[in-house]
Amino acid sequence: MHTAGRTRRRAALVGALAVVVGSACGGVDPEGPVAFTVPAGAGFAEVSDTLVARGLVGSPTAFRLYARIRGADRQIKSGGYVLPGEAGWGEVLDALTRGTVATEPLTIPEGFRLAQIAPRIAALSDVQEDSIQALVADSALWEDWDLPGPTLEGYLFPDTYRFAPGVAPRRVLQTMVDRYRSVWTPERRARLDSLELSERELVTLASIIQAEARQVEEMPRIASVYHNRLRDGWLLQADPTVQYALGGPRERLLYAAIDSVADDPYNTYTQAGLPPGPIGAPGERALDAALWPADESFWYFVARPDGSHVFSRTLAEHNRAKALSRRMLDSLARESDGR
């Protein structure tokens, strides 16, 4: 009895396989990649109809039998997919059961502020930008994730990520925070413990270094200037912190602009010590520079037109370097106007 039943099932299976083989070449075989979406909760019949409409499958009945024989018809995962037009049924089912959905890159450059990150997350998630801005400004998030604060600024680590289009914004933020945490290796933690700085202060300092440096090799030297100033109680006088208080970069930071935000806690020309929190997202090299500054006695630096800096030990040297940099900039401007 049992043997006869198994025999009948085997015969039915063989018959079904024959149908599949006979129908496998019935698709349209579209040229190029084929994009389609499997909605959450979609049944396999709906999925197979979509595949027929996209030309990946010729016979929905045969494909459903094939999936059932493989035990895959109840393992399909929702999401957006992109498959080659010549993909075989096995390749299609493998993608659908593994959930190898199509993804898009999200690149966050080093130094980006929340105001610059939010539009990129909004575009990826298909969510209104003002909703993302409100989300990243929510103090509950950094508190829930036990971040140093005082906001998410500085803790959404700059990198290139990949997400499925329409991904939930909170998942994107969580992934970026997890990446930030991964940077804190035991070696970096041990070094931080040896400094008289909290994690928030260290990341804040690193964000300033990130904003100042145009050449990576100068980061440790820039860090040494700020460490020297912090150690001896000097004002940091970091232009990027004032620009942060003003709401964004300025081509030239004039004294009138500095005075207009004199009472802002991020104005390091008027407020002692480090600002309340980071002014952007520092990368690993800026964090390392803040942790391991160069052992040098510079107290000042000024940018050259090419983005490199002149470092000075005395105010007189610094004033001469500033005057020379200004003359170089004026000369370049005159040459540009003469073209």
> Residue 325: pLDDT band by 50, 70, 90 thresholds?
confident
Superfamily covering domain 16-98: Endolytic murein transglycosylase (3.30.1490.480)
**128: its two tokens:** 């209104």
Indicate the pTM of the whole model.
0.77
The per-residue pLDDT for 320 is 92
Average pLDDT over residues 94-105: 82
Helical segments of the chain, H only:
2-23, 44-53, 60-70, 89-98, 114-125, 129-136, 139-144, 169-183, 186-194, 199-212, 219-232, 239-246, 255-260, 284-291, 315-338
| Residue range 107-122, pLDDT digits in tens | 999 999 999 999 999 9
pLDDT bucket at 21, cuts 50 / 70 / 90: very low
* Residue among 212, 189, 197, 195 nearest 280 (CA): 212
pLDDT at site 30: 67
The band of 339, judged by pLDDT with boundaries at 50, 70 and 90, is: low
Average pLDDT over residues 193-222: 96
Question: Which of 124, 57, 113 has its CA nearest to residue 278?
Answer: 113
pLDDT value, residue 174: 94
Could you tell me the pLDDT band of residue 139, with boundaries at 50, 70 and 90?
A: confident
Give bridge partners of residue 265 from the DSSP assignment: none
Neighbours of 338 (CB within 10 A): 6
Domain boundaries, the chain: 16-98, 104-183, 186-298
Give residue 173's pLDDT.
Answer: 95
- Sequence length of the chain is 339
Q: Which residue is it, tokens 């990520």?
A: 161
Least confident of 20-34, 294-308, 315-329: 20-34
Name, in order, each residue with C-beta under 8 angstroms of 101's C-beta and a sequence gap of 6 or more.
77, 79, 80, 81, 164
Q: Note the pLDDT tens digit of each residue in 30-77.
A: 677 887 788 878 888 898 888 888 888 888 888 888 888 888 888 888
User: Residues 156, 106: contact at Cβ < 8 Å?
Assistant: no
In contact, 152 and 280? CB cutoff 8 Å:
no
Percent of the chain with pLDDT over 70: 89
Torsions phi, psi of 300, nearest 5?
-140, 155
How many CB atoms neighbour CB 54 within 10 A? 17
**How large is the average pLDDT for residues 147-165?**
93
Mean pLDDT, all residues of the chain: 87
- pLDDT at residue 336 greater than cutoff 80: no
Q: What is the mean pLDDT of residues 247-272?
A: 88
Q: Looking at residue 40, what DSSP letter applies?
A: T
pLDDT over threshold 50, residue 240: yes
- Residue 42 Rama label (left phi>0; alpha psi -120 to 50; beta): beta
List all residues 6 or more positions away from 41 whose beta carbon is below 8 Å from its beta carbon. 78
